[in-house]
Amino acid sequence: MRTSVLTDLGLPADPEELLARHTATLDATYRAVLARLPANTAVSVDDAGKVHVAGVKAIEEPASLVELRKRVAAMMPRVDISEAILEVLGWYPPFLAGLTSISGSGSRLADMDITVAACLTGQALNITYTPIAVPGVPALERHRIGYVDHTFLRAENYAAANPTLVTAQAGIGFAQALGGGLVAAIDGMRFVVPVPSIYARPNKKYFGPKRGITWLNMINDQAVGIGSKIVSGTDRDCLHALDVVFGSGEGRRADVIVTDTGSYSDLVRARAFTGQTVSTGAGGPAGSETLAHRPRRGLRGAERPGSRPAGSGEGPHLVAGHPAAGRVDLHRGGELV
């Protein structure tokens, strides 16, 4: 069992050499950061040894950006959500093909795309299917919408079909101008659940006398919603963040994953590092991904990583962080950013 696990993770049987290499890298990083502190006016250390980082002032929006936003808003066409979903389903048939029944077979229903569009519209608007159902239209009958929802729109089907849309989004020129999809972020939103649910948990601070859930979602610099997970109540989401990263179904994972302190811990960061050594996505060599952490306020987000030649032997692009000290980029000589 041990040999199999080590082989799958790409780890040596004797950890001494691996630990020594990372220890040397970490020591060099801390020394490099220490050498830069005297010249860095944005960072200071008080008599108690606490590190203080100056807040980042917001940059005012130029008048040209405000005008551009108005023009873009005026040019955006007004379409119904259902029409937009139906049109996208027509562009990418593999998405519908990924929605299989519980037995694993595809749907034989006529106008399946119309029914799926109706289901997704209802879910997007957070309403029941009654206002969407149209009596006399077979694809929009209430009983058929409910059948398709329970049979085909399951979590595992979304995970199988979603990469089709993520890949298509990455091929759009505008999305490529925004970034290479190598920087992603995970964060959660808390919701009160008004009805009894096995996922709902109490938390007086966020839900008062009621119960609620946390919805974790992952985005990158090209697309929104590339992975998600429902977390019961307000459980610490650091381990759940790993589920979102590895369970997104996306072929190419990001080099840098940015989270707030709720999704970060040193243990989870180490687990992400060892776990992702078995991944060989198109974004880079095996183990090229990492888990970063973003302080809640006052610090810049992660910068887009530079490209590295395959087989350079540098290993993963590691980003270590601390709520007070920002983050340290090990591949930039320990530069504090």
Distances (CA, A) of 240 to 156, 187, 197, 272, 294: 17, 11, 19, 12, 17
Torsion of CA 228, 232, 237, 239, to 10 degrees: -80
Name residue, tokens 């649910």. Answer: 197
Dihedral sign for Cα atoms in the order 119, 121, 125, 128: negative
Which residue in 186, 297, 195 sits closest to 231, CA to CA?
A: 186
3-state secondary structure of 220: strand
At residue 244, the pLDDT reads 78
Averaged pLDDT score across all residues of the chain: 75
CA distance 245 to 216: 11
Q: Which pLDDT band, with edges at 50, 70 and 90, does 66 fall under? A: very high
At residue 265, the pLDDT reads 64
CA distance 306 to 128: 47
More confident residue, 16 or 195: 16
Per-residue DSSP letter, 297? S
pLDDT at 42 over 50: yes
Mean pLDDT of 200-215: 85
Give the relative orientation of helices 112-125 and 142-152 as an angle to the nearest 10 degrees.
80
Q: What percent of the chain has pLDDT over 70?
A: 74
- Residues 6 or more apart whose Cβ sits within 8 Å of residue 334: 28, 29, 30, 31, 32, 33, 36, 328
pLDDT at 325 over 60: no
pLDDT at 101 over 80: yes
Whether 228 contacts 220, CB under 8 Å: no
At residue 267, the pLDDT reads 63
pLDDT in tens, 218-263: 888 887 777 788 888 777 767 777 777 776 655 566 777 777 766 5
Helices (H) and strands (E) in the chain, counts: 12, 10
Q: 211-220 and 227-232 as β-strands: parallel, antiparallel, unpaired?
A: antiparallel
More confident residue, 141 or 244: 141
pLDDT in tens, 146-176: 999 999 998 888 888 888 888 888 888 888 8
At residue 297, the pLDDT reads 35
At residue 226, the pLDDT reads 76
3-state secondary structure of 53: strand
Ranges of each domain in the chain: 2-64+180-336, 77-153
